[in-house]
Chains A and B, each alone.
Chain A
Amino acid sequence: MIRRYDVLHPGGGPGEAEIARPAEFVIDPGGVVRWVNLTESILVRARPEQVLAAVAAMGPAMAQGAGK
């Protein structure tokens, strides 16, 4: 699953373990990705307000996205 989204961070975990890099996606009801946050720093993650804003922003175009 992590590989399918290409968000693997080899050696990023304790003891050089493979873990996911921090990443956030918003997917619309049509299964289409509408917002992506691939942070440049593991310290900086998407905040809840940003994700909610992304969901709110896709509201008007949602019918279009769902129809694809």
Chain B
Amino acid sequence: MKRSWNAPIWIGFLVLVAGLFSYHFLLRFPATRDVPWVSLVAIAVAIPFFAVGLARAFREPQRYRGRIGGTIAAVVALGLTGFFLYATLVGVRQIPASKGAPQVGSRAPDFTLPDQDGNPVTLSRVISESKPAAVVLVFYRGFW
């Protein structure tokens, strides 16, 4: 008897890979960036597919394919998932404590930085000359 294609394993694998790589694009939007929930949903959806596919590949090897291919796919999927979870849930939190940063109520350290035309801008002068309602200071990196 010809053994049949074990679709759940590969559906699970596709869902997982698509879910993890989607984060690369979803990073652009705060609603999908702060917590990578789309990828987490994909992981949760992929697990039962893998479970069903692998279970029948091993219980009924005479009917279903996928003992070797399915195991390799599962190991790759686990590795990708582990890397993804570490990078997005643990790695991104490894930033210094910044204990010396100005706190609420303390005087903002003065500074001079070039503006978009290369002209120097000094905080104390902006405050005394432009009399702004507030100065918003943003330290950012990357593209958002």
Contacts and interface: CB of A to CB of B under 8 A. Distances in A.
Q: Do A and B bind each other?
A: yes
Task: Summarize B's interface: helix, strand, loop or mixed.
Answer: loop
B108 interface: yes
Interface stretch (B51-59, B73-81, B98-106): B98-106
Given A23-B139, A31-B107, A6 B98 contact: yes
B123 A33 contact: no
A9 B107 contact: no
B88 A26 contact: no
A14 B135 CA distance: 30
A43 B108 contact: no
B114 to A, nearest CB: 11
Contact-residue size bin, chain A (C-beta under 8 Å from the other chain)? 35 or more
Interface string A22-49: 1111111111111110111111111100
Contacts, number: 122
Contacts of A5: 101-102, 109, 137, 139
A55 B136 contact: yes
Given A21-B95, A21-B98, A27-B134, A34 B104 contact: yes
A45 B123 CA distance: 23
A29 B138 CA distance: 17
Contacts of B60: none
Given A1-B113, A43-B34, 12 more contacts: A2-B139, A7-B101, A21-B139, A22-B140, A23-B139, A24-B138, A33-B108, A34-B104, A42-B141, A44-B33, A44-B34, A51-B136
Interface of A: 1-2, 4-10, 12-13, 19-36, 38-47, 51, 55, 58, 62
